Amino acid sequence: MEEHVAAEDVAQQFEKAILLLLNWAESREISSKFIGVEEPREAFGKLRLLRVEEVAEILAISKTHAYQLIRRGDIGSLRLGRSVRVRMEDINTLIANMSE
């Protein structure tokens, strides 16, 4: 029988694996040129996918308001199955557009 794995579980496991890799690279003092980015942890932060609850917390708004911004297209989002995720880069874009 095939086991169903929730997208959120996969995302959390992926995040843990990346953090383990970064910790390992730092403990071995592996050059950032070998990893392919200047600041590996900064690059990971850009890749990290946030839950809507985290978006609401970062923007100091309600979860409902965060969903409204996503539905309107004010915040870019990704769908992983039934889950909605937002890149930190999309939040930064929203903030930059609001300050113009």
14-47 pLDDT, tens digit each: 777 777 776 666 666 655 544 455 565 566 556 6
pTM of the model: 0.57
Q: Please tell me whether residues 37 and 53 are part of one structural domain.
A: no
Strands 78-80 and 49-51 turn out to be unpaired
Look over the chain and give the mean of its residue pLDDT values, rounded to a whole number. 77
Query: Do residue 33 and residue 68 come from a single domain?
Result: no
The total number of structural domains that make up the chain: 2
59 and 79 co-located in one domain: yes
- Asked if residue 26 and residue 3 are part of one domain, the reply reads yes
Percentage above 90 pLDDT, the chain: 29
Instruction: Select the highest-mean-pLDDT range: 17-21, 22-26, 57-61, 85-89.
Output: 57-61
Which of 47, 63, 84 is a domain's end point?
47
Residues 70 and 25 in one domain: no
d(CA 75, CA 63): 13
Range name among 35-39, 61-65, 73-77, 81-85 with the lowest pLDDT average: 35-39
Q: What single letter denotes the amino acid at residue 65?
A: H
Q: What is the pLDDT of residue 84?
A: 92
- Out of 32, 47, 62, a domain closes at 47
Do 100 and 77 share a structural domain? yes
Q: Which domain holds residue 57?
A: 49-100
For 22-62, give the DSSP string: HHHHHHTT--HHHHTSS-HHHHHHHHPEEEHHHHHHHHT--
